[in-house]
Amino acid sequence: MASIARQSPLLRQSCLSAFRAPWASKNAAGVSQVVAFHASANKQILPPLPQSIQGTMNDPAPIPHSHPVHGSYHWTFERLVSASLVPLCIAPFAAGSVSPVMDAVICSAIVVHSHIGFDASITDYFPVRRVPKTAAFMKWLLRAFTLGTAVGLYEFETNDVGVTEAIRRVWKA
């Protein structure tokens, strides 16, 4: 029992060495003081964005202008597009028919769904009040990629076999 007690610090040290950073400083006993996955805030990956406060602490928060596109209609439209993708993606394979109209509807729903999702991500991660130029650039980049995706899917639908037939061929390969 005494030999196990003496080996336990060595065993613990050897097991934890896998989680210790190789550059970590060591104390007098030779045990590293900093582990690789520590939670200190000494070095941040990215520095915080510049922040400024406009007005005083007693000023009310500005109320955004109401617009039906940015309210509950927008939320309902997002959910309808997302929910419609499930039957649209299952129908061609369950029914066994390949229709160019069905492919066009599926491609349109995928493009709209992707655009809405990436737009929400850009809005969350690049707020206009903090990084206006980056937010505008990212919005235009999203529009360019959305247009490129739509044109690519259109070309694939008109000049090749189409999305559902391509998926069917890959699935059976």
At residue 95, the pLDDT reads 75
Is 22 among the domain residues? no
Is 164 among the domain residues? yes
> Is residue 25 scored above 70 in pLDDT?
no
Cα dihedral value 7, 11, 14, 20, nearest 10: -120
- The 10s digit of each residue's pLDDT in 57-112 is 788 877 777 776 677 788 888 999 999 999 988 888 887 767 888 889 999 999 99
At residue 56, the pLDDT reads 80
> Is residue 139 scored above 90 in pLDDT?
yes
74 annotated as belonging to a binding site for a ligand: no
Residue with tokens 């582990």: 35
73 annotated as belonging to a binding site for a ligand: no
Is 121 among the domain residues? yes
Is 37 among the domain residues? no
DSSP state of 45: S
> Is residue 3 scored above 70 in pLDDT?
no
Domain that holds residue 77: 68-170
Is 4 among the domain residues? no
At residue 94, the pLDDT reads 81
CATH code of residue 82 = 1.20.1300.10
pLDDT (mean) for 111-131:
92
> Is residue 38 scored above 80 in pLDDT?
no
> pTM score, two decimals?
0.63
**Total domain count, the chain:** 1
- Residue 2 three-state SS: helix
Strand spans (E) along the chain: none
Is 149 among the domain residues? yes
- Which is nearest to 109 in space by CA: 171, 54, 47, 163? 163
Alpha-carbon 57 to chain mean position? 34
Look up residue 74 and give its two tokens.
């927008």
At residue 173, the pLDDT reads 79
At residue 62, the pLDDT reads 75
> Is residue 12 scored above 60 in pLDDT?
no
Look up residue 132 and give its two tokens.
């206006």
> Is residue 16 scored above 60 in pLDDT?
no
What H or E segment, with its residue span, contains residue 135? helix 132-159
Per-chain mean pLDDT for the chain: 78
- The 10s digit of each residue's pLDDT in 153-165 is 999 999 998 888 8
Is 7 among the domain residues? no
At residue 6, the pLDDT reads 52
User: Which pairs with CB-CB distance under 8 Å and at least 24 residues apart come from 35-39?
Assistant: none
Is 30 among the domain residues? no
